[in-house]
């Protein structure tokens, strides 16, 4: 008979057993993989189609502006197709008359300017005092180019002509897309709304109406201010006998769509060419440009744009620079109405996610600075 076991031996812990390594299974549903792949495909499509999307975005601005006139004609108990025909015919007439009047004059001024350019260059340098270091730098820069050689002039003309044709083709494409959006945009918009719930459809309709007001105010206001800039600069340059007055005035009107930066860019060539007449003429041009810029920013723009944009100067400048960095000139054109539309998006979509009273405080702050919204 074996001896009895001690109590400690009876209660001794069994030897530890090595645990087998746990296996972690990572299961990704097939639907998730499809969604990720679809998102990457959409991102790639946006990257490839980005230039076209920008043109469509600009065309949408024009289409919304024209749609406001169509809606106004519809309110006068006109048939919709008659309203569309009148608006499209009016746009075509304005463009045709403008091209017929401006293109021959621009071609004539460009030819005259090219023949007089060497003399204008010499006159401009003569107006700069010898004591200024800028005259030496400017003269050396201009003297490095062979102005009498035909090849450089031909290459510059071909390059400028290619840029001009590319710009004209993009403008024509924007016009065509805008007209198609004007005619069939409503049906496409309703087709897209069908994908959303009734509540979101209602929000999207309200958002579309708010943003349409902003876009219409921006585009119509920009057209008015650009026309005023062209008229003013043309009268000033013509009275002072500055060469290329029509070309410089159209340049100023086009660049007026770029707040702040457009004024600087258009002032430099006007000042330099006016310098070929006399230093006093250049100084007068610079002063008058500055005076009009102040009048435009603090008197004309608030009246023309009304309370549609309601953006501070700092916001305008930063938004403009961000638009230029992201998408060049089209981005700068779209920056201001996109930023101005944030107020409607915040009030309609983001208000439930913000602290109580945030949206109301933002509206009160804008009312104090810009006045109550019209």
Residue of 220 and 163 predicted with greater confidence: 220
- 255 within domain boundaries: yes
Q: What is the dihedral of CA 152, 153, 157, 158, to 10 degrees?
A: -40
- 142 within domain boundaries: no
Contacts for 340-346: CB closer than 8 Å, 24+ residues apart: 340/214, 340/218, 340/308, 340/309, 340/310, 340/311, 341/210, 341/211, 341/214, 343/310, 344/207, 344/210, 344/211, 344/214, 345/207
The string of pLDDT tens digits covering residues 46-92 is 899 988 888 888 899 899 999 999 999 999 989 999 999 999 999 99
Mean pLDDT of 261-278: 87
pLDDT greater than 70 at residue 198: yes
The answer to whether 288 and 306 are in contact (CB under 8 A) is: no
Record the pTM: 0.75
How many structural domains does the chain have?
A: 1
The string of pLDDT tens digits covering residues 228-242 is 999 999 999 999 999
- 219 within domain boundaries: yes
- 25 within domain boundaries: no
Residue of 290 and 120 predicted with greater confidence: 290
Position 128 scores a pLDDT of 65
- 23 within domain boundaries: no
- Highest mean pLDDT (candidates 206-210, 309-313, 318-322): 206-210
Mean pLDDT of 209-218: 89
- 342 within domain boundaries: yes
State the sign of the Cα–Cα–Cα–Cα dihedral 213, 219, 223, 226: positive
Position 145 scores a pLDDT of 46
Mean pLDDT of 292-305: 84
Percentage of residues in the chain having pLDDT higher than 70: 78
pLDDT greater than 80 at residue 197: yes
The answer to whether 370 and 306 are in contact (CB under 8 A) is: no
Position 111 scores a pLDDT of 75
Q: How confident is the model at residue 7 (pLDDT cuts 50, 70, 90)?
A: low
Position 332 scores a pLDDT of 79
pLDDT greater than 60 at residue 104: yes
> Token pair 């304005």 is at which residue?
94
The answer to whether 128 and 135 are in contact (CB under 8 A) is: yes
The answer to whether 286 and 298 are in contact (CB under 8 A) is: no
- Highest mean pLDDT (candidates 162-166, 190-194, 302-306): 190-194
pLDDT greater than 70 at residue 199: yes
Position 18 scores a pLDDT of 57
The string of pLDDT tens digits covering residues 13-28 is 566 655 656 667 677 7
Kindly write down the DSSP assignment for every residue of 300-350, as one continuous string.
IHHHHHTTSS---HHHHHHHHHHHHHHHHHHHHHHHHHHHHTHHHHIIIII
- 6 within domain boundaries: no
The string of pLDDT tens digits covering residues 135-164 is 566 556 555 544 444 444 444 444 444 445
Mean pLDDT of 335-355: 86
Average pLDDT over the chain, rounded to an integer: 80
pLDDT greater than 80 at residue 117: no
Q: Which domain covers residue 260, as residue numbers?
A: 44-127+161-370
Mean pLDDT of 336-356: 85
- 119 within domain boundaries: yes
Residue of 125 and 160 predicted with greater confidence: 125
């Amino acid at each position: 008979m074996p001896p009895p076991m001690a109590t400690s031996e009876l209660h001794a812990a069994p030897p530890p057993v090595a645990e087998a390594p746990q296996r972690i299974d990572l299961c990704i549903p097939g639907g998730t993989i499809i969604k990720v792949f679809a998102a990457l495909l959409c991102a790639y499509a946006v990257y490839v189609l980005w230039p076209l999307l920008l043109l469509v975005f600009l065309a949408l601005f024009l289409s919304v502006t024209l749609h406001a006139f169509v809606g106004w004609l519809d309110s006068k108990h006109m048939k919709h197709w008659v309203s569309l025909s009148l608006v499209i015919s009016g746009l075509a007439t304005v463009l045709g008359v403008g091209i017929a009047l401006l293109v021959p004059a621009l071609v004539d001024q460009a030819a005259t300017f090219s023949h007089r350019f060497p003399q204008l260059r010499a006159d401009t340098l003569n107006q700069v005092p010898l004591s200024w270091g800028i005259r030496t730098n400017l003269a050396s820069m201009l003297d490095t180019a062979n102005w009498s050689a035909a090849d450089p002039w031909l290459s510059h003309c071909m390059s400028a002509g290619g840029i001009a044709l590319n710009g004209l083709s993009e403008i024509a494409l924007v016009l065509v897309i805008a007209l198609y959006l004007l005619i069939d945009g409503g049906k496409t918009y309703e087709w897209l709304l069908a994908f959303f719930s009734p509540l979101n459809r209602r929000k999207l309709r309200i958002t579309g109406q708010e943003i349409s007001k902003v876009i219409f105010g921006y585009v119509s206001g920009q057209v008015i201010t650009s026309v005023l800039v062209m008229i003013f600069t043309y009268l000033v340059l013509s009275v002072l006998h500055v060469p290329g007055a029509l070309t410089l005035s159209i340049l100023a009107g086009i660049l007026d769509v770029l707040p702040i930066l457009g004024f600087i860019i258009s002032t430099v060539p006007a000042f330099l060419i006016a310098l070929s007449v006399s230093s006093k003429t250049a100084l007068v041009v610079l002063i008058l440009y500055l005076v009009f810029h102040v009048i435009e920013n603090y008197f004309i723009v608030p009246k023309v744009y009304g309370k549609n944009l309601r953006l501070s100067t700092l916001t305008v400048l930063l938004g403009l620079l961000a638009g230029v960095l992201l998408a060049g000139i089209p981005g700068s054109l779209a920056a201001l109405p996109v930023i101005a539309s944030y107020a409607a998006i915040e009030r309609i979509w983001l208000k439930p996610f913000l602290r109580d009273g945030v949206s109301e405080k933002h509206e009160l702050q804008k009312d104090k600075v810009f006045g109550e919204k019209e």
